[in-house]
Amino acid sequence: MSVPDYMQCAEDHQTLLVVVQPVGVVSEENFFRIYKRICSVSQISVRDSQRVLYIRYRHHYPPENNEWGDFQTHRKVVGLVTITDCCSAKEWPQTFEKFHVQKELYGATLYDSRLFVFGLQGEIAEQPRTDVAFYPSYEDCQTVEKRVEDFIESLFIVLESKRLDRATDKSGDKIPLLCVPFEKKDFVGLDTDSRHYKKRCQGRMRKHVGDLCLQAGMLQDSLVHYHMSVELLRSVNDFLWLGAALEGLCSASVIYHYPGGTGGKTGARRFPGSSLAAEAANRHRPGAQEVLIDPGALTTNGINPDTSAEIGRAKNCLSPEDIIDKYKEAISYYGKYKNAGVIELEACVKAVRVLAVQRRSMEASEFLQNAVYINLRQLSEEEKIQRYSVLSELYELIGFRRKSAFFKRVAAMQCVAPSIPEPGWRACYKLLLETLPGYSLSLDPNDFNKGTHRGWAAVQMRLLHELVYASRRMGNPALSVRHLSFLLQTMLDFLSDQGVAALSPEHGRGQPGDSCGVRNRDLPPR
């Protein structure tokens, strides 16, 4: 897996991943108009049940990431919704063929798929179909949300059948060994009858069932499966999957303790009819225990009702403090595998979001420091900009404003790196402006009073120099002059005679390496 998702949070482990993509030529405006309506159906209550199903939508998802779906099921694309324009019956066969080609990208993991067709009317559109919905236009499509709800219910039916199939005790049957892509060649020729191998298979499958239970809205069952998986995998030193089982345990515990979520989404996650929401106010008790439930308490339909009182007391859940300890352990295991860099990075981001909710900023900064130095494949310039921007946002989240400003400035410098054919000076300038508060710098001269200077003048001057240069390079000399005059007005006391001379019009043009030097993108020593 090569593309990290920096927006991941612990609650994503309970979601089903649905990809929404255009087929053929669809205008961006029309696509995102329907995409937003589809995304509005992000959770539904399962009929005749107290369970809730959560959906995560993406309009772009790398197919190679899908190969890690057995490792963590929330990475698996289980649903595909495609949007297309089709104005005549002649175009329909070709449009439908494109839909099938699109399905083949994720075909191995898809539970179900839908095609939304806009513009086609007549005999074809009047034929009742479950996988295709026809609408006269983008304005006349009132049933989109209802169609999506029906689609999600069909996903749940498949999910539940898979969960029941995997959770059923098949004594005597050989349990398949689940693998991540880079492991497959390592298990060729192994003794499949050895006790060690069978325990590995059982541990991985138990962890997989825990994932399915979490997605199916069975939080307590998932906790039990994760605990059992941890014990099995620890006994055979299966470190990569042990890390995944611990991370699953952390995610389930986070969902229990923080129903409002850790990803900054608005609105608390609710569990209708369950005791979990009612007890949300009491979840942060330090004495929450990690009590294991007897596997015999599990049935194919969930936890045996006879043991519900015991589970109500024990919760089988990590305490808020233990969640972070287990995240650290999981990340240490991921760090043993160079091919698991993306998994390690995303786990760090999830832990930071949890610590931000817990208001434990110093510990969060340790996870971020680790994330900075995780080696991934050769990143493109755009991916580097995204990585530094997200690091900046996370440091801002935990209250490290100056560190946030540092990484935002690194992202700004990356926008105009020498390797970029067309440097993005406008984006660079915008990011530089956003760093000003972190360096205690304001562009309002009234905020500067003699004798009460705040912040490091040398750093502030450097930043103002970069604003001058970036504004000039993006073709706005008037703005450049304004920044230059502001620099002289507010920083004159800190400028040497040589510095003042360098700012004169005849010396003010500078060189890219002088005022916006890429060498300043170097990260601080670890």
Q: What is the pLDDT of residue 48?
A: 77
pLDDT of residue 64: 84
- In the chain, domain spans: 10-167, 178-183+191-264+316-377, 385-497
Residue 471 C-alpha from the chain's centroid: 34
Three-class DSSP labels, 150-179: HHHHHHHHHHHHHHHHHHCCCCCCCCCCCC
- Which of 68, 70, 75, 307 shows the shortest CA–CA distance to 166? 70
| Beta strands 52-58; 77-85: pairing state | unpaired
- CATH T-level assignment (fold) for domain 178-183+191-264+316-377: 1.25.40
Contacts of 393 (CB under 8 A, 6+ apart): 404
The answer to whether 104 and 137 have CB atoms below 8 angstroms apart is: no
Check residue 47 and give its pLDDT: 82
pLDDT in tens, 388-409: 999 999 999 999 999 999 999 9
Would you state the pLDDT for residue 290? 36
User: In this predicted structure, what is the pLDDT of residue 501?
Assistant: 64
Residues with Cβ < 8 Å from 394, sequence gap 6 or more?
349, 352, 353, 356, 364, 368
C-alpha distances out from residue 103 to 80, 93, 120, Å: 7, 16, 21
- pLDDT digits over 222-268, tens only? 999 999 999 999 999 999 999 999 999 999 999 999 998 887 643 33
Residue 264: the pLDDT is: 66
Please give the angle made by the CA atoms of 177, 179 and 182, to the nearest 5 degrees. Answer: 145
Per-residue pLDDT of the chain (526 residues; tens, 9 = 90+): 678 888 999 999 999 999 999 998 899 999 999 999 999 999 999 887 789 999 999 999 988 888 899 999 999 999 999 999 988 888 888 999 999 999 998 888 999 999 999 988 878 878 888 899 999 989 988 999 999 999 999 999 999 999 998 877 565 468 888 999 888 777 776 777 888 888 999 999 999 999 999 999 999 999 999 999 999 999 999 999 999 999 999 999 999 999 988 876 433 343 333 334 334 434 433 333 333 444 444 544 454 444 443 444 346 899 999 999 999 999 999 999 988 999 999 999 999 999 999 999 999 999 999 999 888 877 888 889 999 999 999 999 999 999 999 999 999 999 999 888 888 999 999 999 999 999 888 887 777 766 567 777 888 888 988 999 999 998 888 998 888 888 887 777 777 666 666 666 534 444 444 444 333 334 344 3
Helix (H) or strand (E) holding 113: strand 112-118
What is the CATH code for 10-167?
3.40.50
Count other C-beta atoms under 10 Å from residue 96's C-beta. Answer: 17
Contact 259, 16 (CB under 8 A): no
Instruction: Supply the pTM of this predicted model.
Output: 0.82
